Amino acid sequence: MAELITSGQNPKIKDLLALQEKSRLRREKGLFVVEGRRELEHCLEAGYQIDTLFVCPDILELTDETPLLKNVISTEQSERRNLTVFEVSPAVYGKIAYREGTEGIVAEVVTPELTLAKLNLPENPLVMVLEAVEKPGNLGAVLRSADAAKADAVIICDPLTDLFNPNLIRASIGAVFTVPVVTATSEEAIKYLKDKGIRILTAQLQDSVLYYESDMRHGVALVMGTEATGLSQAWREAADAHIRIPMLGRLDSLNVSVSAAILLFEAVRQRQ
């Protein structure tokens, strides 16, 4: 039977809250926090290992839409997976829940190694590359678009935010688990793409053509930088083509997540 936690001062609860708030602690422990049935189901589907579960039986309702999660919570499976399960009271769950309406379940998950070597790309892949994007909400939104466009990978170069920041996981609605995501330096990513024969298309205003005039039917990497500074010179020089989205108003840029969605779905359109 799972241990019942009824106090927010319980050391396990304090550790969980610290893990949510501190990226340094997440790196040190090799753990991050996921909450919600849908997000955890995607996490399990992607093969991530859950270390500890915090379940509020008064709130949690498992359905046929979350078969993996339903199976994992069973006593037999949790013991087989060496998984620790705690039951928490509604009051304690209210303390640990990062957002409202997350259905009564929070997990500490083992952080995987996310490197270029882990990618297994198909022929003619569609890859999204983001350089030094720092806002978790933007990264999460790009991952949702990448999932919707069925991109083969997202490479995050020189990241300025923790990939397992709770805000990023929340903004991605679990897409951080449904799309292959890796991190690398820009130099590593450029070499990887060149070695694989994947065309590099950089989104930039200077010396560029309209995005729909560039061929995206074959293996291609769509590369975007920050709204403030754009892409580094290394990417501009490595590019096979520079592309831009036409700006008809007085402003000269779109939110990076909006731009990413436009470019990804142009690739989808061309490939149909």
- Which of 83, 110, 137 represents a domain boundary (last residue)? 110
At which of 71, 86, 110 does a domain end? Answer: 110
CATH code of the domain in which 266 resides: 3.40.1280.10
The answer to whether residues 244 and 178 belong to one domain is yes
268: its two tokens:
């989808």
Residue 101: CATH number of its domain: 3.30.1330.30
Residue 239 confidence (pLDDT): 96
Residues 265, 130 share a domain: yes
How many alpha carbons fall within 13 Å on the CB side of residue 41?
16
pLDDT attached to residue 36: 87
Both 160 and 94 in one domain: the answer is no
- pLDDT for position 77: 52
pLDDT of residue 254: 86
**Residue 7 and residue 106 in one domain:** yes
Identify the pLDDT of residue 132. Answer: 86
Same domain assignment for residues 145 and 264: yes
Which of 91, 110, 129 is at the close of a domain?
110
What token pair was written down for 90? Answer: 């509604």
Q: Are 98 and 173 in the same domain?
A: no
Q: 102 with 8, same domain? A: yes
The token duo for 93 is: 């769950």
pLDDT at 119: 94
Looking at residue 78, its pLDDT comes to 53
Let me know whether 155 and 255 are in one domain.
yes
Q: What is the pLDDT of residue 264?
A: 98
Ordered mean pLDDT values, 10 residues apiece, the chain (272 residues): 87 95 93 90 90 90 78 61 85 86 86 92 97 88 96 91 87 92 95 97 91 96 84 94 93 88 98 94
Q: Which domain holds residue 26?
A: 3-110
Alpha helices (H) along the chain? 11-21, 23-29, 37-45, 67-73, 75-80, 90-96, 136-148, 166-172, 175-178, 186-195, 233-238, 256-271
- Domain match, 158 and 219 both: yes
Same domain for 176 and 262? yes
* Cα atoms in the 13 Å half-sphere on the side-chain side of 161: 19
pTM metric for this prediction: 0.90
Residues 148 and 187 in one domain: yes
Name the domain count of the chain.
Answer: 2
Considering the domain architecture, whether residues 146 and 23 belong to the same structural domain is answered as no
